[in-house]
Amino acid sequence: MVASDRWDATDTWCEVLTMAAADLPLVSELAHERVAAVERACSRKSCESELNALIPGEPQQISTILAAVVASGLRATEISGGLVRSVASSPDTGDDESADPGPAILLDRNQGTLLLRPGVQLDLGEIVWAWAADWIAESCRTELGIGCLVNLGGDIAVRGEQPAGGWRIQIADGQPSSSGDANITMSWPGGLASTTNVSRPSQPHAEPSQWRTVTVAAHSCERAKAASLAALALGDSAPRWLTQRELPARLVHTAGVTIQTPGWPA
């Protein structure tokens, strides 16, 4: 019998599922602790978070969690060819744009240091919970020996033992429809992530996306999230971009038309 626990954190909502009810307390305790640790490191809503204490222009020692999330954001930028800029955003400081200001961010994970260019702020909101879902699910598998599903605000990671046929997942399209939300079976160890332009903060100088919702399946939730964010920005070329990278996806157009790339689960 599948067991579940759901709660609200400061920055997101959280849910964990296990195959057996006896396993749930251990998984839930670990997940609560890890979510709280991520918020202490990365929350923009908490004035006491490590992220909000960063000072641009000065090299600083940072926690392993913040370093890992920043590295995740940098990977998202690389994977997307620069379409996803979830790590560094620089307000207009009036500087000469023709001058080369150098890297916006320098991360040294070996030394545990981070240097932000003056005027640069970190924005980890788009990728942090996808990374955290992978981290928690993998920790449950390796540290507890328990398979589980971790869902952090819709960013899903699965590791270890699964129900027969896989986990049943409901895909929200960001807008109610007469046919209801789609359902799929998630039977692979990896991730599933959605990005929607409904109630999503607008990006400066960004064109409105023609996609209402993009959901991507991948070998990690982090990669799925990066791809869904990139696809939302790509417009017409998103299905081809996803197919070329062998990323199964479901894209819902603002007009209501649904497109699926090869490999999308039944």
User: Dihedral sign, CA of 165, 16, 84, 76?
Assistant: negative
pLDDT tens digits along 95-121: 444 455 668 889 999 999 999 988 888
Per the CB < 8 A criterion, the answer to whether 153 and 181 are in contact is no
pLDDT tens digits along 123-140: 887 899 999 999 999 999
Per the CB < 8 A criterion, the answer to whether 48 and 10 are in contact is no
Band (pLDDT 50/70/90 cuts) for residue 25 is: very high
Nearest to 104 by CA among 93, 112, 253, 42: 93
pTM: 0.90
Name the amino acid, one letter, at 8: D
In this prediction, residue 85 carries a pLDDT of: 80
Nearest to 247 by CA among 265, 234, 255: 265
Q: Give the C-alpha distances (Å, rounded to integers) separating 134 from 59, 98, 152, 170, 219.
A: 28, 40, 10, 19, 10
What SS3 class is residue 133?
helix
Name the amino acid, one letter, at 216: V
CA 261/CA 266 separation, integer angstroms: 12
pLDDT tens digits along 169-221: 998 775 555 455 689 999 999 999 999 986 544 444 455 679 999 999 999 99
What SS3 class is residue 116?
strand
In this prediction, residue 239 carries a pLDDT of: 97
CA 101/CA 11 separation, integer angstroms: 32
Name the amino acid, one letter, at 74: L
Segment 130-152 mean pLDDT: 98
Q: Please name the residues in contact with 35: beta carbons below 8 A apart, sequence gap of 6 or more.
A: 9, 12, 14, 132, 136, 152
In this prediction, residue 94 carries a pLDDT of: 47
Q: Quote the percentage of the chain above a pLDDT of 90.
A: 70
Which one of 82-86, 115-119, 156-160 scores highest in mean pLDDT?
A: 156-160
CA 238/CA 230 separation, integer angstroms: 8
Angle, nearest 10°, between helix axes 64-79 and 128-139? 120
pLDDT tens digits along 42-61: 998 888 999 999 999 989 99
Structure token digits, residue 240 = 């081809």
